[in-house]
Structure 1
Amino acid sequence: MAEFKLVISGKEGKTLQKEIKESEADVFIGLKIGDRVEGANLGFEGYEFEIRGGSDYCGFPMRKGLSGTLRKSLLMGKGVGCLGKERKLRKKTLQRNRGGFRRKKTVCSEVIHEKISQINLKILKTGKSSIFEVPATEEAPASE
């Protein structure tokens, strides 16, 4: 029984968060980063999404290129899961920032499995209605 939090982002910079469980979540099991998903499976008619990343239950980011359903500690410079910070300069000395600064970071694989908690999606095709519109709520009339 899998449940995921979906973060859907559009071209305008807006995002939508949706939680899915059981039968809707089974669509994602076994898919990889870069795969496409039909919006009809999630309740969004006419939409098509691309999986761009995610994170597991401990917060480790998914990284493209790792196969299987494992977590691995990699020596990385820059990229997903590593910012690649450089050494700061001192004012009184002539030290330079070192190139090739790398750090050991833990990341999880690109395959979606039961222990993944968040999936990031990008909209490729839009449907007739916008998914970012907030439904209008009826306001109670003010009693005087």
Structure 2
Amino acid sequence: MPGIKLVISDPEKGRSIQIEVDETKARALFDARLGQKVDGGSLGFGGYEFLITGGSDRDGFPMRKGIHGPVRKRVFIGSGPGFHPPYRGQRKRKMVRGDTVSEDIAQLNLKILKKGAKDIFE
């Protein structure tokens, strides 16, 4: 299994960086859910604390809050993530990924909550 791409954003600086972590570090994220805080030490970023804000699986289906487990489901939705209606009130059945991180996730979006001593962006 290849690693997971982490897109880490810093709301203070308004920047983001994409880092790929290997399988052993990625295992620390498995079974974490959207909106959950993650310790950065397990990912190789000592002193950092992250918030999981989103992601997508290997086939490009976005993770969606409210769908429990690491499953893919066809759900009837009227707003993002996964669907952005062209006109007000439109809803559509779309395939989305559940809110739990598993080995099928290819990209994970993280937001920095607490910074460590070393800057990630250098």
Coarse TM-score class (shorter-chain normalised): over 0.9
Give the match's secondary structure for 2:96.
Answer: strand
TM-score between the two structures when normalised by the length of structure 2: 0.92
Q: Is the 8 A contact 2:48 2:112 kept in 1?
A: yes
TM-score between the two structures when normalised by the length of structure 1: 0.79
Counterpart residue number, 2:20: 19
Question: Rg larger in 1 or in 2?
Answer: 1
1:30 CA displacement: 0.7
Q: Unaligned regions of 5+ residues in structure 1, if any?
A: 87-98, 134-144
Between the aligned residues of both structures, percent identity stands at 46
Query: Per residue, is there more strand in 1 or in 2?
Result: 2
Provide the aligned C-alpha RMSD in A: 1.3
Q: Unaligned regions of 5+ residues in structure 2, if any?
A: none
CA distance in 2, matches of 1:58, 1:79: 18
Moved over 4 A (4+): none
Counterpart residue number, 1:4: 4
1:79 CA displacement: 2.3
User: What is the count of residue pairs matched by the alignment?
Assistant: 121
CA distance in 2, matches of 1:66, 1:81: 13
What does the per-residue CA deviation read over 1:72-106, in whole Å, with 9 as the maximum and x for residues that have no partner? Answer: 111111121111111xxxxxxxxxxxx42112211
CA distance in 1, matches of 2:7, 2:53: 10
